[in-house]
Structure 1
Amino acid sequence: MRSPLANNSAPETQPVPNAPYVKPAGAFDEAFDEGRQPRAHWQQLLEHIGRLGTDGMDDRYRRAQRILRDDGATYDLNNDPLSPSVWSLDIIPNVISSAEWAFVEQGLAQRSTLFELIYRDLYGEQQLLKQGIVPSEIVFADPGFLRQCHGMHLPGTKALILHAVDLVRGENGQFVAIGDRTQSPSGSGYALENRTVVSRVMPGLFRDSNVLRLSAFFQTLRQTLAGLVSHKTDNPRVVVLTPGAYSSTYFEHAYLANHLGYPLVQGGDLTVRNGKVWMKSLNGLSPVDVILRRLDDSFCDQAELRADSMLGVPGLLEVARNGNVVLANPLGSGVLEAPGLLAFLPDICQFLLGQSLQLPSVRTWWCGNPQDYDYVVNHLDQLIIKPTYRSFASRSIYGHSLDAKARAETLAMLAKNPAGYVAQCYIPGSQAPIWHEQRLEGRPGILRTFTVATKNGYSVMPGGLSRVAESTAEVIVTKLSGSRSKDTWILSDKPEVEQSAVTEFPRDEAQVTNLPSRVIENLFWFGRYAERAEVSLRLMRTIFKQLNGVEPLPPESRNILLQALSQVTGCLPGFTENEELLEHPNDELATLVTDHERAGSIKANLQAMLACGEQVKEMLSADTRIILNELRDHIHEVDRAYTHGLPSVPEESLDGLVTTLLALSGLNNESMLRGMDWMFQEIGRRTERALLTATLLKATLGKPLPGMQQQLILESLLLSVEALISFRRRYRTGTRIEFGLDLLMIDLSNPRSLIYQVNQLRKYLNELPRNESMTSGLSPENRLIIKSLNDIQLADLAQLAHVDHRHRSRASLQQLMSQIIEQLEQFTSLLSDKYFDHTAGPQQLIKAKWKAEL
């Protein structure tokens, strides 16, 4: 059937009269009824799509993709910061009426209450096991059941803070729960991002549709987290714990941390000392009260759980047991995700709540029960086989898709370990319309819903994260990856009542300005790598211009410039020891531009800078992310230009990279607040520029040349640092080395001079936090900077320019620059030790006197 939207007509296109795709067999259709007419709550949306037409929808789809990319909404970096996978979003929302949602909402609140009680019972009195409601094998054989958490006291009225439930619709349209996420439920941040994007590309429709807002859910989450330690403090220190930038859901972690206003930390940012959890921060060690974790249970503590984990905090579980930190969700909640529990959930609900389960779960048989096992063996082609216990590597087996051999293998697997498997009814996901290849098509979908604990129960997000399959060949959506997401609209009959003013929480100024050491370290290196790439690019462009100039470049001048490039990039020995390379430099120059595996190359530095940016994604502004995306595009353009070696006009191919880096630097200077994040990025930039300027002066002017060749070197050096025009205006026809050193070394009005960088470092150091226990007097890093400043100011330019004819070099200049470089490198080491590492001696994880001190 041809879609009515296939016509590229103007806004007067007729509204959609009926379904543009065939009715799915055995599945519910979200948008169209049995007569293939739009359902009432979909009518307004479908009419709006019809009025937009194909061109209008395509335009909005492109705008949505651009917004997602600019927001940094990636799903998986794939270990390549140049090509992150952008979050897939279909711009047509999934629409649910408020009347239908009211029933779902009640069922979700009851289900979360039930799972909270299950958690408390399994780690408490274990009445479910003692009364035979749940077989012991279901719990004790589950790796998700952590015996270390048994008897652990949890503050607050609710142990389970967040709960996510995956829902599908049966053929009759009834929602059925097929799975629960209780360790670190993901998806709520993506749901919020989807809402932000769709409301921006379809603002009028969103505004007129009476869609229930999501903001109250996140405000409730914030209040709940603060209330977890209200018995101890009115101003809790809350952090969001993430596995890191290469987690598939890292964007969501950064997005939630920003939205909630909490620091985003990794396991290495936290440490256990004296029975408490501390964040390694710019100001030293800062106490942590609540951890909103995005790590699965087993990775959270290397001391008591997985010893091979690189993501957790050794000793964290012991601190939680002692009540000195609260985790949301609590450790051990992974046992609640076991598919085996669903087989007993109706009985559990009656036992713990005295109620029937309002929101039904998918029909489940546990093969450890002989009767259930017989049923599964005889009805295998109608069922889905799953492991009893959920794990990262677990997979489902669809009975209807098995051939004779696979069926026999599955039956043998069940017979070998029946208690290790469950079977569930196969429920194809309901069909939802998506925009694909300029028309509406149907795809099976699934809805992930979210609840958050309150004092009196659970609050349900009015909506959730809808996901649909990318192709018609898929019949069920099982993972966040490899699927397309949708915003979920719950439509009200009337405009939503304006929310009351957001509750103000007391703010600890130290907490607001304090940053994890990892964050400032990445910002420091972000600045350093950006400066390395820029200086290398400028010098590379200058060399290309000189090599391709009208006048031939003398071999001596050429050799010094090429050798300087090897020293500035650090790609040694390079041109410094290879005469053949000096005669035929093209291949080496191309490699220095595009070889990302060669440390020090331009592409390697840019990739390293982008990787640092991904590590601190939550600290970057929207404009910064846009510029970084433009930088990625320019890198790909350069790769294409250098496919067959140096292009015909190689210097022009680098212009886009230089201007983008300049835009990034300008944005940081003009738009960033002068906080510690900006400060350390600037310290990184100034340190690297000082090091490279000293290296350039030493490499280019340290070896004397005859008059015209020396002038070419000086002019090339000035050109590479954008100072040639200023030099000519100031000194007219003079080209003496002293004049160049005056401008590049000791001129405080030149923002690229050596003294300017060191002077800026001195100013920034005076604004950094000082350890209160530190004795009065200058710190070691201050001494080094002041010494470098004095060395530059006291330098005799005539002496520096003097040629030692015996050694055929400017020995004084080389010696001074070597000394400055050594002092700056010592400075970076001291800075790292003081503000990034916070190293301390070994400590016991458990001390008997801790509890007495609490």
Structure 2
Amino acid sequence: MTDTVAPSITALSEAPFVAPYAAPNHAFDEAFEDNRQTRLPWQAVMTAVQQLGSEGMQDRHLRAQRILRDDGATYNLKSDPLSPNVWALDIIPQVMSESEWRGLEASLQQRAKLFDLIYKDLYGEQRLLKEGILPSEIVFSHPGFLRQCHNMHWPSETMLTFHAVDLVRDQTGRYIATGDRTQAPSGAGYALENRTVVSRVLPSLFRDSQTMRLSGFFQTVRETISRLASHITEAPRIVVLTPGAYSSTYFEQAYLANHLGYPLVQGGDLTVRNGKVWMKSLNGLSRVDVILRRVDDTLCDQAELRSESILGVPGLLEVARQGNVVVTNPLGSGLLETPALLAFLPAISQFLMGEELLLPSVDSYWCGNQEQLNYVLANIRNLIIKPAVRNLQSKSIYCHQLSDKELQRTIAKIKANPVAYVAQGYIPGSLTPIWDNGQMCARPGILRTFSVANEQGYCVMPGGLARVAESTNHLIVSKNLSGSRSKDLWILSDSAETDTDIPLDNLPISQAHVANLPSRVVENLFWFGRYAERAEMSLRLMRTIFKQLNGIDHFPTESREVLLGAMSEITGSLPGFQDDPELIENPNDELAALVANSQRVGSIKSNLQQMLACAEQVKEMLSADTRIILNELRDHIHSVDRAYVNGLPAVPEESLDGLVTSLLAISGLNHESMLRGMDWMFQEIGRRTERALLTANLLKHTLSRPLPSLQQQQILESVLLSVEALISFRRRYRTRARVSYGLDLLMIDRTNPRSLIYQIEQLRKYLEELPQTEQTSLGLSPDKRLIIKSLNDIQLADLEGLSQIDETTQTRQQLTELMTQVIEQLEKLTTLISDKYFDHTAGPQQLIKAKWKNNV
């Protein structure tokens, strides 16, 4: 990609860039001096904006949005996979000089060290409580204080691996901490994504600005996490524990897991056996040494913490206490996020480190202290009231925005339970420039920085996640990542940065070649393939129906009944067209519902939604091109919704072409680009199984009923057209439209990739390559017996006999019985695969390989 900004980007243009917005009142301006001239670190950025102009900036803004969407960058994903919230990013970076950064970096390193000492003290000697430095009510009344974690075993001197701080600038430009994130700090992955996107849309500016790189920070993350398990093994198995695909920050969790090279797992993927944590995978149980968690403390263990949690691993806490697994950040660290701690932080720093805090915290007052409570009540108009316990439901109360009545209610709540509230001074966020609606304007912003432990203390990411309010009406930026727009923070180096020396990992080659996937991942890929085939078959048959009903040739009632009845059977939306003459004569509403009604199980839109939901569950496994095609598929679905808003459109088959094309693109991409690993294998098994089931169903419900010659030819050609075989059929058999010829092409022709025998043979080949998790049994396994029986049934079929009409039933009874038998066997096969590889219903002992038994 070529940037149009001139190479001399760091030089000022002849006309200095003057602030396009008025000077803020009572707030610091990041980019402009009081005289509205550009601050020195910002001059290159403002010159670039000036040279690009409104049209160029808008083009780059739209390009950034496309990249984010193609990357699958989302926040606060809704239950509808068709409309995820794309991560909001402003393309104008926030800029800081290296000299300013170095001072802030030292302050952040000291603060991270202090919080590590606080954690170790509160879960160790508790000197802070014994000496009265920190009121015991703050700790013992907090649900985040986990007594089960007292004297927790830890393999390194530093226990708090990750630490994040939310910062604002006061009116003088001084950074002030407003809160700390110690439980499972989020945002570092979004910061990396922001850097990737902005550097792509403004490459010359990024290259010439000598911006400090982020790669060294993430390399330190890898090294630190690997060292945590050095007492267990030289090649630790590290996993990222996520709450799941509908976690608001799931994109970041998947993105970081991919970037760091760790498997992304959910609580159900892990199990505790004999004092250790294991990952349930296709190859059985694999021991886990380090868990990088993104699940809240109390949800991590149903056995000792919250029993109603579905996100954790029962028994995890006991294994961590024994030192057989390392969970980071350590459990119980959520306690340190209480804003009540800030009121006592200066005294704590003196007590634990003998040092003054380099980074001041916002003025904070714990209402459990009578003296501080009196101050709060006397000055409440100028304060922010926060719950002492942070959770998703907790909201800050900005008292200067309250009416008198609302203020009195707030005071009553504080007096009723003063221990539960903290008051803080209000500091307006500093103004920073953003690109909005084709022009530059200013928004108040805050900054989140990230630190990771290393052998010397803490390493701070040379950048961060800046966030700004979405509109001028929002003077307050939420500390949650939602409801705001993000920015990339550039630290401008005084000299060219040298490349980071990355040490080679001592990973055994045998382990490097094995991609041990959680069973949940392959199950979702299996169902992704199945739903894709269901949607494609339904779409193809639906297009065929539209062409026949609206074609130039007469389509008799008998033909309508068969084809429309098959549509109901294929989609499973019964009774549908079956035995309903009125619906067959006026099928438009039912057909429209089968296309666009997501509430109809089996409809095209419902299958596509289920397919996209499976894709969200395994986002980390999808390539960039696959994500782009899935986004195009979403666009086509929305186009179909618009086309069908008033029922069936005038030319309904054309509205479905985009959906079919997208599904074919996904299938082709997987076939040509995916490595032939277990992820590809299970997706293919899902596709082949579903295609075989649908083909057998289609043959059963279209060709088993005898019809007059004209209608029989129409139905046979409709079936062939729906599976893209009509042209091949005509070339091979000319105009002889016999049912036995159609069965030859659709059932036993190995050269037809959509024939029944082709699917069964592919399934047989894939089953041979799957790992065998059961103990060796005599003879063939049940799944292989089923697939061989189905193959033999098809190979031994007499096509002329199948096409004969039974005098008793007046149907092609043999064809019906054969297809019914094949369908039942394939459905049993899917159940066996699910039991064997996804649900592990064979029992826990059979999953453990013999070579592991000495270690269990």
Q: TM-score, normalised by structure 2?
A: 0.96
| 2:577 aligned counterpart, secondary structure | helix
2:764 to 759, 762, 765: 762
- Aligned AA (2:319): V
1:528 aligns with 530
1:431 aligns with 431
Determine the C-alpha separation between the residues in 1 that align with 2:277 and 2:583. Answer: 56
2:255 aligns with 255
Determine the C-alpha separation between the residues in 1 that align with 2:369 and 2:270. Answer: 45
2:24 aligns with 24
Determine the C-alpha separation between the residues in 1 that align with 2:112 and 2:366. Answer: 22
Using the TM superposition, name which of 769-778 and 634-643 deviates more.
Answer: 769-778
1:136 aligns with 136
1:650 to 649, 652, 656: 652
1:504 positional shift: 2.5
Deviations 1:553-585 (A, max 9, x none): 011011100001111111111111322111111
Determine the C-alpha separation between the residues in 2 that align with 1:604 and 1:782. Answer: 32
| 1:76 aligned counterpart, secondary structure | coil
2:52 aligns with 52
| 1:85 aligned counterpart, secondary structure | coil
2:347 aligns with 347
1:240 aligns with 240
1:626 aligns with 628
Deviations 1:26-45 (A, max 9, x none): 11110001111100000011
Deviations 1:502-557 (A, max 9, x none): 43341564574110000000000000000000000000100111111111101101
2:736 aligns with 734
Whether the aligned pair in 1 keeps the contact of 2:13 and 2:47 (CA below 8 Å) is no
Deviations 1:634-688 (A, max 9, x none): 0111111111111111111111111111111111111111111111100000000
Whether the aligned pair in 1 keeps the contact of 2:12 and 2:44 (CA below 8 Å) is no
| 2:826 aligned counterpart, secondary structure | helix
1:14 positional shift: 6.8
Determine the C-alpha separation between the residues in 2 that align with 1:261 and 1:778. Answer: 37
1:565 aligns with 567
Instruction: Extract unaligned runs of 5+ from structure 2.
Output: 1-10, 846-853
1:798 aligns with 800
Identity %: 68
Taking a change above 3 Å as real, the CA distance of residues 842 and 20 of structure 1, as seen in their structure-2 partners, is same
Taking a change above 3 Å as real, the CA distance of residues 503 and 430 of structure 1, as seen in their structure-2 partners, is farther
1:744 positional shift: 0.3
Whether the aligned pair in 2 keeps the contact of 1:122 and 1:128 (CA below 8 Å) is yes
| 2:791 aligned counterpart, secondary structure | helix
1:7 aligns with none
1:673 aligns with 675
- Report 1:324-403 matches (<5 A): 324-403=324-403
Determine the C-alpha separation between the residues in 1 that align with 2:45 and 2:17. Answer: 13
2:593 aligns with 591
Whether the aligned pair in 2 keeps the contact of 1:15 and 1:47 (CA below 8 Å) is no
Determine the C-alpha separation between the residues in 2 that align with 1:476 and 1:248. Answer: 21
Whether the aligned pair in 2 keeps the contact of 1:568 and 1:695 (CA below 8 Å) is yes
1:752 aligns with 754
Determine the C-alpha separation between the residues in 2 that align with 1:733 and 1:471. Answer: 68
Determine the C-alpha separation between the residues in 2 that align with 1:468 and 1:480. Answer: 10
Deviations 1:253-281 (A, max 9, x none): 00000000011011111111112111111
- Aligned AA (2:272): V
Determine the C-alpha separation between the residues in 2 that align with 1:16 and 1:288. Answer: 58
1:118 aligns with 118
1:99 aligns with 99
2:483 aligns with 482
1:266 aligns with 266
Deviations 1:291-345 (A, max 9, x none): 0000111111111111111111111111111111110101000000010000110
- Aligned AA (2:309): S
1:230 positional shift: 0.4
Determine the C-alpha separation between the residues in 1 that align with 2:596 and 2:401. Answer: 47
1:374 positional shift: 1.5
Length, aligned pairs only: 837
Using the TM superposition, name which of 89-98 and 577-586 deviates more.
Answer: 577-586
1:699 positional shift: 0.5
Determine the C-alpha separation between the residues in 1 that align with 2:408 and 2:793. Answer: 82
1:600 aligns with 602
1:504 aligns with 505
1:806 positional shift: 2.1
2:696 aligns with 694
| 1:565 aligned counterpart, secondary structure | helix
1:161 aligns with 161
Determine the C-alpha separation between the residues in 2 that align with 1:206 and 1:12. Answer: 16
Deviations 1:125-171 (A, max 9, x none): 10000011101001001111011111211111211111110011111
Determine the C-alpha separation between the residues in 2 that align with 1:560 and 1:739. Answer: 19
Determine the C-alpha separation between the residues in 1 that align with 2:42 and 2:186. Answer: 28
Whether the aligned pair in 1 keeps the contact of 2:12 and 2:43 (CA below 8 Å) is no
Taking a change above 3 Å as real, the CA distance of residues 111 and 12 of structure 1, as seen in their structure-2 partners, is closer
1:805 positional shift: 2.3
1:842 positional shift: 9.2
- Aligned AA (2:76): D
RMSD: 1.7
Determine the C-alpha separation between the residues in 1 that align with 2:16 and 2:706. Answer: 80
2:41 aligns with 41
Determine the C-alpha separation between the residues in 2 that align with 1:772 and 1:508. Answer: 26
Determine the C-alpha separation between the residues in 1 that align with 2:312 and 2:16. Answer: 53
Deviations 1:353-409 (A, max 9, x none): 111111111111112222211211111112111122222222111222222212222
Determine the C-alpha separation between the residues in 1 that align with 2:16 and 2:694. Answer: 64
Whether the aligned pair in 2 keeps the contact of 1:15 and 1:48 (CA below 8 Å) is no
2:440 aligns with 440
Whether the aligned pair in 1 keeps the contact of 2:805 and 2:813 (CA below 8 Å) is yes
Using the TM superposition, name which of 684-693 and 706-715 deviates more.
Answer: 706-715
Taking a change above 3 Å as real, the CA distance of residues 133 and 279 of structure 1, as seen in their structure-2 partners, is same
2:183 aligns with 183
Determine the C-alpha separation between the residues in 1 that align with 2:585 and 2:515. Answer: 54
- Aligned AA (2:826): L
2:541 to 533, 539, 542: 539
Determine the C-alpha separation between the residues in 1 that align with 2:680 and 2:429. Answer: 48
Instruction: Extract unaligned runs of 5+ from structure 1.
Output: 1-10, 844-851
| 2:443 aligned counterpart, secondary structure | strand
Whether the aligned pair in 1 keeps the contact of 2:377 and 2:411 (CA below 8 Å) is yes
1:604 positional shift: 0.2
Taking a change above 3 Å as real, the CA distance of residues 684 and 593 of structure 1, as seen in their structure-2 partners, is same
Determine the C-alpha separation between the residues in 2 that align with 1:272 and 1:839. Answer: 17
Deviations 1:403-432 (A, max 9, x none): 221222222222222222121111111100
1:350 positional shift: 0.7
1:847 aligns with none
Determine the C-alpha separation between the residues in 2 that align with 1:56 and 1:667. Answer: 33
Determine the C-alpha separation between the residues in 1 that align with 2:327 and 2:174. Answer: 35
Whether the aligned pair in 2 keeps the contact of 1:526 and 1:681 (CA below 8 Å) is yes
1:840 positional shift: 6.3
Taking a change above 3 Å as real, the CA distance of residues 697 and 47 of structure 1, as seen in their structure-2 partners, is same
Using the TM superposition, name which of 817-826 and 411-420 deviates more.
Answer: 411-420
| 2:468 aligned counterpart, secondary structure | strand
| 1:453 aligned counterpart, secondary structure | strand
- Aligned AA (1:71): D
- Aligned AA (2:260): L
Determine the C-alpha separation between the residues in 2 that align with 1:705 and 1:13. Answer: 82
- Aligned AA (1:183): Q
Determine the C-alpha separation between the residues in 2 that align with 1:363 and 1:85. Answer: 35
- The answer to whether structure 1 residue 294 and structure 2 residue 305 are counterparts is no
1:456 positional shift: 1.9
Determine the C-alpha separation between the residues in 2 that align with 1:595 and 1:744. Answer: 31
Using the TM superposition, name which of 529-538 and 509-518 deviates more.
Answer: 509-518
